[in-house]
Structure formats: C-alpha cells, structure tokens
Structure 1
Amino acid sequence: MKTRTLALLPALLIQMACAGSHSKNNDPEPPVTGTPKAKLQLVTDAFISPVNMAVPGDGSGRLFFCQKEGKVWVVQQNKLLPAPFLDVSRDMIAVNPGYDERGLLGMAFHPEFKTNHKFYVYYSSPSSKSGFNHKSRLVEFTVSAANPNLADPASKRIILEVDEPESNHNGGQLQFGPDGYLYVGLGDGGGGGDKHGLIGNGQDLNTLLGKILRINVNGTPYSIPPDNPFAGQPDARPEIWAYGLRNPWRFSFDRNTKLLFAGDVGQDKYEEVDIITKGGNYGWRILEGNHDYNVPASADKSTLIAPIHEYAHDLGISITGGYVYRGNAIPALKGLYVFGDYNGKSFVLRPSGQQWNRETLELSGRPADNMQILSWGEDEEGELYMLTSTSGNTGFKGAVYKLVKE
C-alpha cells in the first residue's frame, strides 16, 4: 500500500505550492494540541432532514439549508424565516423523509452572487429513460429582484442532467473552488459493488457517475475548463476532475490551503477521507479504502491514490465529510479536519507530517435521541455547523447545531 500513498505526494505538493502563492492570510496554520472538543448550540430544530448548508458570501450572515424533501430555508440573525427561499419539490421524485438517498441534496452560491444573484441546486427528478430510477439534475436559479430571501422560480435554467440506475449513491455536493469553477459530486449510480458496466461506473471515464466534476457554469448550459485533466481526450468525459469514487457525499475546500477534502462512503467494510487532486483515480471498485474489493487482472494498483484516512465498520457505517476548521471561536480545533459518521460519532483528523491521525471529537449538548449526522456546514467566518436527524418516540426530527467553545 505504500506505493499508493506515494502516488499522492507530487499532486499534493503542486497543489500546496499553488496555494502558497496567495497572501499570508492563506498560509496554513499549525494545528493546536490538546483534546479536540466543542459544544453543540442549537440553531433550529424545525426540519426533518437538513442535508446541506450554503452561505451566499454577501456579508449578510444568512445561512441557507436544503431540506431533502425539496425546500431551501433561510436562517437570518438566528431566526428561521417563515417562508421557504425555494421549493423544487414539484420537480422532484417523491422521497421518504425518514431514509432516502434521493431528494434536494446540494446547493452553492455563485462566486459573484453579490452582483449576479445566481445560485445552484442539485436534486433528484423523474427519469424518462427506461431502466433508470431517476435523474440527478443541476439547476441554476436567480434571486427575486423584489425580495432577497426568495428565489425567482421563473429563472430556472437546467445546467446538467445525469440518469441514475438505482435510488442510492447520488452524491449531490456542490462547491465553487478557489478557481471559480463549480465542483459537483456524483456517486457510482448505486447498487451493491458498483455493478453497472463492465468495469463499474467509478472506473469508467465515459460516464459521469462515480466522479467529481469541474465545470464552468457561465457557459450555455456550461463549458469545460481548458485545464481539466480529460479535456480533449477521446473516450473520456471532459467534465471529470477525479474518478474512482463510490459516493463522495460531502466534500469541501480548506479555505487556507485550498486543498479539496472528500468523505467517500464505503461499501461493506471501510469509510475513507481523500484529498482530491486533478485527474486522480481513488480506486473504487478495485479497492474499498486501502483494501482489495474487485481487482481485475489488468489493474495497476500503484497508480491509485490512497485515502489520507480510513476506518472500519466496527467504528462507523457511513462517513459524512466535513471541513478543516479555520474559525476563531474554538482554538482547540484550529487546523483540524472535522467530520463525522451517520451513526452520530464525530471525529477530527490531526495532520502530523505526511500522516493524518484520527481523534474523537468530544461534543457536549448532544440530543438524547439517536442522532444521525447528515452533513456539515461552514459560515462566512469559518465557524462550523452540524446538520442532524434524530429518531425517537416522536419519529424523525431534524436539527442544526453550531459548534461553539466548550
């Protein structure tokens, strides 16, 4: 497995060198020592399934939350506004509010949102193709000219559609990178073991499934950045930035180093955290984490990029990728990658040389009911939020918490 780890280093060095060309404010901060801990401060518990958080970057301090069932809600000055910002439920398939991997899954604001008022959402719509469960749809909207807390439904512009063979492994994360391009996460199309196609969707460069894409949304409907790794290459989709992924449910850019961290959900045994680099192959379905899964005789495993961390299913069941903490309110988390698992456990990765060491993140103020960690969010100040659902005697109930100093 050492050869896999070494395959990551040149790309990382290049990416960190590029990050180093920014101002001193973007230089990496050395992580602190001590026990990582924080307190959960309730923001709202008015949801059922809050699966994504986005901020507009306009200085308003507003927080936008995607509810899986199809609505986007706004929290402003610690208050949940009474009317939804956007409702796409009529354009979606019906989803189970308890457990369903389909729905309204992601949202991101355009880097020039203050002037163009555009934002993007990713959701599951009915597919018209035989043999497909649904299609994942990336759509652009513009904010209403009359009310900044309402979207204009008439501004809808479909950017991209991808047919999905199964109901699960839909990805859905949207993040604009420091380069201004939109990064889009798609799962492998679902079904156990990436069963679709001769080599599985994750390894097939002719499909967008099992990939992280990088596109320029300023085109019609979009254009390909000229430095994308497969731009102009025959038998490969030019939108692809990285591949060999099973379900990169949540990923984020470190606002200091500009590195792209992804939590890729595993199959039966292992969950993993990856640092995503240009053209990288992260191994699925050849490997699950660092371990053989479905290895063809022709596979060259030395070219596959190893995760920076993996953990087995005796610890968790489904990773929920998070953020490198760059806020100021919780010194104990400075420079640590904060993430969790659907089973409610929370962790950090602490960098040490070329290694990332996992530690338990101690969180006080947790609800008494069984809690699932659905997603994480980062506000304009770099402070972190945990999006959850709990199952108890009253059924499913969603809540959003801000991480504050213990």
Structure 2
Amino acid sequence: MNITPLPPAKEPTGLGRLPVARWFLVIGVIAGVVLLTGIVVAMMMSSRARELAKAPAVEVQLARLNVALIVLFAAMLVFVAALAFIIRYAVLKPVDQLAQQVRTVAAGDFDHTLHVDRPAELAELSSHIDSMRGRIVSAWRAAADQAEELRRSNGELEQFAYVASHDLQEPLRKVASFTQMLEQRYGSQLDDRAKQYMHYSVDGAKRMQLLINDLLDFSRVGRITGEKSVVESGAALDAALENLSGTIEDTEATVTRDELPKVRGNRLQLTQLFQNLIENAVKFRSEAAPRVHIGVRRSGDMWEFSCADNGIGVEPKYADRIFLIFQRLHPRDVYPGTGIGLALCRKIVEYHGGQLWLDGGAESQGATFRWTLPAAGDDDE
C-alpha cells in the first residue's frame, strides 16, 4: 500500500540517547568491578588477619572464609552470566525486533505486522500497537475510498453545473421568450385570465433560471476560483457596493464602514459575501431609508466582521433556520428571492475557516450578522 512515510523520530536528549543495552552493560561492568574489588579487599584483609593471628583455629577459619569468598565470587559470575543471557534474549532482542518492525512501518510499509513473542509485557504491547496500526490502515483505506468517491462526485457535480448553466437554461429561455411573443402577437385576443396564465409562465421560467444560477453559485464555493491569498477586505466591499450601486441609489440607502483590514481569503467570494449581506439589509428594510454599517474588530487570530441594519430584523427563534438553503420567512410576492443567499454566505465563511451567525443580542434596531475571517499573518504580508 502506498502511503507517505512518517517523519523521522525525534532525537532523544540527555541520558536518553544511550540505548538500553548499553545501560545494562555499563551497570553490569560497574557491579562486577565493585564485586571484584570487594572480594580482593576481603582476601587482603583475611591474609593480613592470618599474619596477625598465629592460632591454628584462626587459620582454619580464615582458609574457610577464603574458600567461601571464592565460591561466592564464582556463583556471582554464574548469576551475572545467566542474568545477562536472560536480559539479552528475553528483553533486549525482543525490544530490538519491535523497534525494527516499527521502523519498517514508519518507513511506509503500513501493512507490515508488528509482533514479538517475549516477554509477556512486550508481546502485549506489540499486539496493541499492531491493532492500532490495523485500525489506522483500515480507516485510511476507507478515507481513501471516500476521497475517490468524493472526487468522482465532484466531477459529476461539475458536469451537472455545466449542463445546468447551458443545456437546462436554454429551454427556460425559450419558454419565457415564446410566451412573451405569444402575448405580444395575440394579446388582443386573450382575456385577462389567459394573460395572467402567461404572466405566471414567464415568471416561473425566470425564477427557475434564477434558482439554477443561485445553485451554481452555491456549488462553486471552494471548487472554482477558490484560491486564497491576502485580500484587502475594504476593496472587496468597494466591489460589492459598485455592483449594488443601482439598488442603493434607488432605495436611498446609506452604507458606512469601519477601517477594514487585510484577511486571507478569496476576493471574488468575499465580494459576494458583502454583496449578499448588504443586499439583504436593503431588501428587508423598514419604512425608513436603509442604513447599513459594516464593522470589524480583532478576535485572536481572526477578524470579526459585522453587518448591522435598521430593517425589519429577524426573530431570534429563526436564527438557525435562515441559514438553511431554500428556507424563507416571508412570502415570495412580498420579498422576492430564492432563499439561498444566507446559506451561500455561511458556506463562503466556513470555506474560509470562519463562522457566520445572527447576533440575537444586538441592541441596534434591525438585524446584525457577525462573521469571522482569518487575519493575514505577518509572513503573508
């Protein structure tokens, strides 16, 4: 299985740089030297005591003591040799085998099995590690399959977007245009009900075209022109206001702003974000002339933007519903639109790594929407 190898392990520091085998070797040498020194010192003291004490009984006891020390030394050597053998084959060798197996897996062979037979603790540890390896590999394969399915689905979605933007809209344009031609040519022969039906047909075709275009915009977020860079959010707002200049002039709306910062994102999508929010603020206006303010403040690594208006506002109980696609709070004949604008705004903000929400506790009249965008770092600037 082809998986990118893991990065190299961190280098140990301090005394941890010594392998465990060398620790055992150093400690064993020190213990042997101490034991040998003790035996030599004991034998020298025994020899000195023999010289000082000439009694036959004392000499016999000292001789026996020397024999006992020699036997003890031999037994200690046998014990140390046995302990070294056990440590070498029961601890150090299995640890080395497990470490080598882990290195093989870390190098990219994630199908390599991890297993040692001894000791019991290492056998249990290797079993748990191998189980985790198996689960990770299984999850990776499932994720790879899902990613492949997602790529295929995205390809089909792009194909659908192409068909929707060309083939599906052409029949709608024909329906609208020919219905209008019928009304122009035979309008004098039609009664009021027939004219109303024709009006419904044209309006339905145009709304279907608008719906298709909105769905295309929604599906394109993050797929087309989704590259991120350092963006002047003030320039994105200027572009949005230029696109809405006719609507702003007709409604005598006033749009004010704070000094807007640089953010990391996509300029076209941020322009669309500002445009949709300001357009909503103007659309859902009260009897007074619309007033919209774009504010901003720093919040950690993010900039928190706000769009406050003096319109009809939104009841807090609908704070989540308004961000769902095709969800409307008002009849279409009162406030036109497809009900996709705020859903598109939330998708744009989430694509940029931020959040968009309705500020239900805002003190100003109307509605206040807040959203976060990542600040442009010093390296980006």
In which range does the TM-score fall when normalised by the shorter chain? Answer: under 0.3
TM-score normalised to the size of structure 1?
A: 0.20
Tell me the TM-score normalized by structure 2.
0.21
Instruction: Give the strand-richer structure, 1 or 2.
Output: 1
| Structure 1 or 2: more helix by fraction | 2
In our comparison, the structure showing a higher alpha carbon Rg is 2
Greater RCO, 1 or 2 (C-alpha within 8 Å, sep 6+): 1
